[in-house]
Structure 1
Amino acid sequence: MVKLVRVSYGTAIAMGLIRAKLLARPTTAYLMTYWPGRCSNDCAFCAQARSSRADLEKLSRVVWPAFRVDEVVERLKNGDFARICLQTIEYPGMLDDVFELLEAFSTINLPVSISVTPVDSETLERFKSLGVDYIGVGLDAASERIFGDIKPDASWNELWDFTARVVNVFGQGRAVIHIIVGLGETDREVVDAFIRARRIGADVSLFAFTPIKGTRLENLKPPSVERYRRIQLARYLVSIGGEDTIVFEGDSIRGFTLSEEKLLMIPPTVFMTHGCPGCNRPYYNERPGKEPYNYPFPPKREEAMKTLGLIL
């Protein structure tokens, strides 16, 4: 019987499980399966990886303390969240724990997203019957060229096949591929991944690489905000079939064949967190006080103009 579940620090504050100030309230309840040890996979960027020396309570730069499942379920009922997002790490019996958690969440009447390693169609159908409507696919590395080093326990082809299975079970746009910008990929490789995802019928959620002390990539620098902004805009343009407007210099995005007037008409939501409905993921990639890679809420006009200034 599952007794504990991890809760992201911001979610725990919003639930009243922790007394602290919130700078940006999460609109989704971010939870993670509990396991007293490390994940059996060894992703180079991850604090949970089996070779990592990072704090076990961390995922990216966020702390995820553990709480009793019954207490979390009770707090979720009055938490004013748009959905539940359940992160999973790989360990013996993980799927059994996920099913138990989904059963517990079923009394709350909130849609559920799960980020999980590849499972078969039968398992996906069972997820769907228990209230899951979106699946996060941890591709993470946008290029097969770097994939094996970044995710040595995963298969590039298997993750793309899994994405197609998710679309087949849940429908168009319900598979959300996670891509981390800054792992050594080129801009062209990221755009190619966007195009492949669209052709399958999947969506893409962008993250900025965050170096975590104790991981294999602790000394790698995060991407510049300027580069990230161009990739955010490229994701949006590919999603509407506008990849021909992206101009490359070598393998880097140099600009866009859009007039300044059309660029200024780009919706500010392009620079917000993009993922499942109701997801804003505040401060997942950056510390408060810095310009966020992904705005948790629509940026003010002056912020949006500054953001576009990095692209123009």
Structure 2
Amino acid sequence: MKIRISYGTAISMGLIHAKMLAKPITAYFMTYHEGRCRNNCAFCPQARESRADLKKLSRITWPVFELETVTEKVKTGGFARICLQTIDYPDLVSDVLTILETFQPLGLPVSVSITPVEEAVLKRFKELGVDYIGIGLDVASERLYPKIKDSLYSWEDMWRFTEESIEVFGKGKAFVHIIIGLGENDREVIETIQRVYDIGAEVSLFAFTPIKGTRLENLNPPPLERYRKIQIALYLIRKGITHLEDIKFREDGSLISFGVGKEKLREILKDEAFRTYGCPGCNRPYYNERPQREPYNFPFNPGKNYVLEVLDSLGLR
């Protein structure tokens, strides 16, 4: 059986010889399928109508290796967790179960990002060492969801699956993925973030990355300033410091204020607001950005003065 491995994970395992600027703490894998995904997400290289390279997911290359070889190499990589990404195809659940059964003797906790499956399947995942589920809602706007996702699963299907995942794995064990920069406005993003936390799930933010061969290949990535504002709002909601009803927006949906004064914001905001936030041990090095640029999500501590630098740049210090 074959499996895809993120380029950085393959380097950490010694399967590829190259340099890394930041080592992945989690081993990132993806199911292998000769064809494309059944869904047709406009941003995804794996999409049904995409012309992009199937080795790609976001800007990362995922080379193919034999599962048996990979399983042996995981032992020497010093990883804290395994994260299995999936694309949707007829034999997906069977393949995921085979992979989980193969990885189970390693004793590492496992996260699985997957399209909706039955509750019985989730319970079997749990028996095989899975403790977190990733849900690719991706589009933060119900208005835009059917246009961009073009998926077998509706907006409400994804929310039902999130709730089912929480029932099986527990509060805080379902991570809803949200991509910033798909045409949504700030109000839509923050309404969605609040809904996620209201039902007991968590949010993991991504920045839209244009990939050649996808339907959105000509769309620009989100401005870093806007992304930082949404990261701050997410951090404040996640920590229970503010709520959607406290946050103010303009008529066009753009964010005006966080419902927290500048002085308090300076006291309470930590650099973790700008680091990758996901399952324990997730740092996703340079998943959305090139190493030469300031990352949307830092895979490491950005430095003790970074919070003040961000607040200065946003006029919030």
Give TM-score scaled by structure 2 length: 0.95
Q: Which amino acid aligns with 2:118?
A: D
Q: Secondary structure at the match of 1:300?
A: coil
1:156-197 CA distance string (max 9 Å, x none): 000000000000010000010000000011100111101111
Report the CA distance between 1:139 and its aligned residue.
0.3
Match of 2:168 in 1: 169
Q: Does 1:19 align with 2:17?
A: yes
Q: Distance in 2 between matches of 1:170 and 1:309?
A: 40
Q: Distance in 2 between matches of 1:308 and 1:274?
A: 20
Match of 1:87 in 2: 85
- Contact residue 28 and residue 280 of structure 1 kept, 8 A: yes
Q: Percent identity?
A: 58
- Contact residue 4 and residue 67 of structure 1 kept, 8 A: yes
Report the CA distance between 1:236 and its aligned residue.
1.2
Q: Distance in 2 between matches of 1:277 and 1:88?
A: 19
- Contact residue 229 and residue 310 of structure 1 kept, 8 A: no
Q: Residues 110-121 of structure 1: matches in 2 within 5 Å?
A: 110-121=108-119
Gaps of 5+ in 1: none
1:74-133 CA distance string (max 9 Å, x none): 111121111000000011211111000000100111100000000111110000000000
Q: Does 1:50 align with 2:48?
A: yes
Cα separation, partners in 2 of 1:199 and 1:258, compared to 1, 3 Å:
closer
Match of 1:201 in 2: 200
Match of 2:300 in 1: 297
Give TM-score scaled by structure 1 length: 0.97
Gaps of 5+ in 2: none
Match of 1:285 in 2: 288
Q: Distance in 2 between matches of 1:303 and 1:188?
A: 26
Worse-matched range after superposition: 34-43 or 52-61? 34-43
Q: Secondary structure at the match of 2:45?
A: coil
Q: Which amino acid aligns with 2:281?
A: G
Q: Secondary structure at the match of 1:31?
A: strand
Q: Distance in 1 between matches of 2:36 and 2:79?
A: 29
Q: Does 1:239 align with 2:241?
A: no
Q: 2:104 aligns with which of 83, 103, 106?
A: 106
Q: Distance in 2 between matches of 1:296 and 1:264?
A: 22
Q: Distance in 1 between matches of 2:58 and 2:289?
A: 10
Report the CA distance between 1:245 and its aligned residue.
4.4
Match of 2:221 in 1: 222
Q: Distance in 1 between matches of 2:158 and 2:148?
A: 14
Report the CA distance between 1:71 and its aligned residue.
1.1
Q: Which amino acid aligns with 2:220?
A: K
Q: Secondary structure at the match of 1:134?
A: strand
Q: Secondary structure at the match of 1:145?
A: coil
Match of 2:60 in 1: 62
Report the CA distance between 1:27 and its aligned residue.
0.7
Q: Distance in 1 between matches of 2:132 and 2:155?
A: 21
Q: Distance in 1 between matches of 2:238 and 2:305?
A: 26
Match of 2:270 in 1: 267
Q: Distance in 2 between matches of 1:230 and 1:272?
A: 13
Q: Distance in 2 between matches of 1:173 and 1:238?
A: 14
Q: Does 1:306 align with 2:309?
A: yes
Q: Distance in 2 between matches of 1:31 and 1:262?
A: 41
Match of 1:186 in 2: 185
Q: Secondary structure at the match of 1:30?
A: strand
Match of 1:76 in 2: 74
Q: Distance in 2 between matches of 1:54 and 1:305?
A: 40
Q: Which amino acid aligns with 2:292?
A: G
